[in-house]
Structure 1
Amino acid sequence: KIKVRKGICYHCLPYGLHHRTCPRSKREAFFSPQLLISFVHRGWLNRRQIDGSLNRTPAGFYDRVWQILERTPNGLIVAGRFLPQQPTLSDMTMYEMNFSLLVEDMLQNIDQPEYRQIIVELLMVISVILERNPELEFQDKVDLDKVVQEAFHDFQKDHNRPKGAEHQDDLTAFYNTHPAGKKGTCSYLSKAVISLLLEGDVKASNDDPCTIS
């Protein structure tokens, strides 16, 4: 069963209505190659809206969330919902459908599809950082919303956005930024995660070969 967010319908509705009401002679022009190319080259805000509406995730995404949870004893907070390490890891396995559905259900709790995709990007970033630093694990609960806010504040500073120039919780410009590159969203998300680590919210993993018991 494929889940599709209502958001994708709102994005496509104006195009469908225009197509149905315009003269037949203009319909081919409406769906011309140039228009199709413009869909392909949409801004990142639109891409994230569409990907979020279709519940798209990168390959191996749910396995990576499992691996994050293994290194987060006090669990994750996603859009105000708590995902505990236990009994989740003891009741389920990494590859079973129930775990994927549990994670997807939490992501479904996010109203904005573009914000959902930022959370997906953040989880991938956390996974890579923990993978490259196997000696570390989070000690406290990891609130993903707070990490995104920290990344966004850093983004605002780099773009010289004066206070009052826009709503402090308006992430539109952030949503419309490419994920990759020095000024990409993943760069800001990585900085926020590393900042969280440097604040002392981590401890050595029990699997650290350098740990003396």
Structure 2
Amino acid sequence: MSGKEFNIGSARSGTFFISSRSTKLSKQKSTIGSFLGPAAAEGKNEEPDERHGQWLRRRRLDGALNRVPRNFYPQIWKILGKCKGINIEGKVIPHSLTQEMTAGELKFALEVETVLNTIPQPEYRQLVVEALMVLSLVREYHNTDYLGDIVSAQDIVHVANNIFLSDQKQQDGDATTCCAREKREPGVGGGLACGGAAYICQHFYDSAPSGSYGTMSYMIRAATATLNCFPQDGELDCAVS
């Protein structure tokens, strides 16, 4: 198991439960699929060997071509309305842009692209894009007026990767051959043994976005762990239709 499920699954009775720091986030009907596009369903009938590397290749291609989901830039504009800025690898997209430009303005899209284009690894760029779409879900469905001061998109990606590796250890998944090993050996140039870019496991890059072990599920769990707008104790029910 390496997280390559291709269906947006439900834990029980049609409800998708995600827990992090004693916080439960339940989703009645996932809207994640609207961000993934038809490609999320590709590979359902393929053999496991044929699927190997599929999502890694797709993320590299999408990142190299600067592809983003539909309505991506207006969603970023709305996120900025609830924080002071979005940090992406040391570059900040400031809240002040919402006062200077409209959500649909081309100049605003170019400002966002300028920051995203500072990421040299295309597959890592795509995971950052996924993290930003998770932030848009939080903004839309979580009843809060403020997400935090500077929201770090890369922190969500790296925390999601750590949660993924923890699950891989428990399930004896594919990542136990590299990043989820008890004693990890450094790769070439001090990087990861699997060759994953930006210190993210290559098996995480090669996981489908949707599904119980999909990257978006881990991103949501990471968001609940990193954003200050979520309570650290107790339960939170968030219905997404």
Among candidates 195, 198, 223, match of residue 193 of structure 1 = 223
Runs of at least 5 residues in structure 2 that lack an aligned partner in the other structure? 1-45, 170-179, 186-191, 194-198, 231-241
CA contact (8 A) 2:91 2:115 kept: yes
Instruction: Quote the residue 1:132 is aligned against.
Output: 141
Matched residue pairs, number? 161
Q: Which amino acid aligns with 2:166?
A: K
Quick check: 1:96 aligned with 2:126? no
1:121-174 deviation digits (Å, cap 9, x = unpaired): 111111012101133421221111111111110000000123333539242111
When the two chains are superposed, the root-mean-square deviation of aligned CA atoms in Å is 2.2
CA contact (8 A) 2:139 2:147 kept: no
Instruction: Quote the residue 2:76 is aligned against.
Output: 65
Work out the percentage of aligned pairs sharing the same amino acid. Answer: 36
1:174-205 deviation digits (Å, cap 9, x = unpaired): 110000011000000000111123xxx239xx
Structure with bigger gyration radius: 1
Q: 1:98 to 1:43 in 2, by over 3 A?
A: same
Instruction: Quote the residue 2:213 is aligned against.
Output: 183
Q: Aligned-pair distance for 1:108?
A: 0.5
Q: TM-score, normalised by structure 1?
A: 0.70
CA contact (8 A) 1:62 1:100 kept: yes
1:59-87 deviation digits (Å, cap 9, x = unpaired): 10001111111111x2110121011102x
The structure where helix makes up a greater share of residues is 1
Q: Which amino acid aligns with 2:162?
A: H
Runs of at least 5 residues in structure 1 that lack an aligned partner in the other structure? 1-36, 204-213
Quick one: higher RCO (CA 8 Å, sep 6+), 1 or 2? Answer: 2
Q: 1:120 to 1:105 in 2, by over 3 A?
A: same
Instruction: Quote the residue 1:49 is aligned against.
Output: 60
Among candidates 79, 82, 105, match of residue 89 of structure 2 = 79
Q: Secondary structure at the match of 2:146?
A: strand
